[in-house]
């Protein structure tokens, strides 16, 4: 009989923020921003362990009101700077559990800056990466045709240069463009074996299209204002059972 797959959910929430001061605890419709991601994680039936990784005592004290959320450590300050990477944060958490002889097959990274997720999105993503036997997964949305990579250019020393290979023919008609996607930041999943190789995204990458869901990643005050405008729409979406 196969051993059950163990999955760790990590909500990274450091104290500092360049764009918005202490944004993880800033109130959005009366709730701290981090609340919406905690809510998404708690609705999952497939996450075995959910933790908050933070250097901020205020955030950790807030998370204590959710009994199913674990607070195993205070994240070291050197892993909570503007230069710290998500990979470093995830590896720190995995190393903590490895010392306790607790192993996980997958890590699900849930960023508070993407607060709007459908109620079952976490579990649909987990089930998909397992079914696809993929090494990593991201949630995505389609790139609008006017921003398609085939029609994109970069500044070059001799003028504009194409984003794709210069010798490839430009697709002349919108109808002939292939679908292209961007990661929307809602969910990242990685096999722990991939993380040990020093990568969060790689190998065989699966994707889950979140078309129709609100796409807001809060990095600036303009993003925050957009979230405030859209939150009622998001709540109606949730209440409708989508």
Q: What pLDDT score does 165 carry?
A: 67
96/165 same-domain check: no
pLDDT 10s digits, 118-176: 989 999 999 999 999 999 999 999 988 888 877 878 887 778 877 776 666 777 777 77
Rounded to an integer, the average pLDDT of 97-105 is 95
Which pTM does this prediction carry? 0.89
Residue that wins the pLDDT comparison between 2 and 178: 178
pLDDT digits (tens, 9 = 90+) for 123-139: 999 999 999 999 999 99
Domain count, the chain: 2
**What was the pLDDT predicted at 117?**
93
Supply the pLDDT for residue 3: 60
Same domain, 81 and 31: yes
Are both 36 and 148 inside the same structural domain?
no
**Domain of residue 135, residue span:** 7-141+180-239
The full 3-state SS of the chain, as one line of letters, equals CCCCCCEEEEEECCCCCCCCCCHHHCEECCEEHHHHHHHHHHCCCCCCEEEEECCCHHHHHHHCCCCCEECCCCCCHHHCCCCCCHHHHHHHHHHHHHHCCCCCCEEEECCCCCCCCCCCHHHHHHHHHHHHCCCEEEEEEECCHHHCHHHCEEEECCEEEECCCCCCCCCCCHHHCCCCEEEEEEEEEEEHHHHHCCCCCCCCEEEEECCCCCCCCCCCHHHHHHHHHHHHHHHHHHHCCC
pLDDT recorded at residue 239:
63
Same domain, 48 and 161: no
* Domain end point (choices 178, 198, 225): 178
At 240, the pLDDT band (50, 70, 90 cuts) reads low
Same domain, 198 and 171: no
Q: Are residues 174 and 186 in the same domain?
A: no
Q: Is residue 1 part of a domain?
A: no
CA 179, 185, 187, 191 torsion: positive or negative? positive
Q: Mind listing the pLDDT tens digit for each residue in 15-72?
A: 877 778 889 999 999 999 999 999 999 999 999 999 999 999 999 999 999 999 999 9
**pLDDT at position 75 over 90:** yes
User: What CATH number is associated with residue 95?
Assistant: 3.90.550.10
């Amino acid at each position: 009989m196969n051993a059950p797959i163990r999955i760790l959910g990590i909500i990274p929430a450091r104290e500092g923020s360049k764009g918005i001061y202490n944004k993880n605890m800033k109130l959005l419709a009366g709730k701290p921003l981090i609340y919406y991601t905690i809510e998404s994680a708690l609705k999952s039936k497939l996450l075995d362990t959910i933790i908050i990784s933070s250097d901020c005592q205020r955030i950790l004290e807030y998370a204590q009101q959710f009994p199913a959320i674990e607070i195993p450590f205070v994240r070291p300050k050197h892993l909570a700077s503007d230069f710290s990477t998500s990979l470093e944060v995830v590896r720190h958490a995995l190393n903590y559990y490895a010392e306790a002889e607790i192993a996980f097959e997958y890590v699900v990274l849930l960023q508070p800056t993407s607060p709007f997720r459908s109620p079952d999105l976490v579990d649909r993503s987990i089930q998909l990466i397992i079914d696809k036997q993929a090494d990593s997964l991201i949630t995505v949305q389609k790139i609008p045709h006017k921003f398609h990579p085939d029609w994109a250019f970069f500044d070059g020393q001799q003028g504009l240069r194409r984003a794709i290979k210069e010798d490839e023919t430009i697709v002349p008609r919108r109808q002939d463009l292939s679908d292209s996607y961007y990661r929307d930041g809602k969910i990242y999943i990685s096999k722990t074996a991939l993380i040990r190789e020093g990568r969060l995204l790689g190998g065989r990458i699966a994707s889950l299209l979140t078309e129709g869901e609100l796409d807001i990643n809060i990095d600036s005050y303009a993003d925050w204002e957009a979230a405030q405008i859209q939150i009622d729409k998001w709540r109606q979406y949730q209440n409708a059972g989508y």
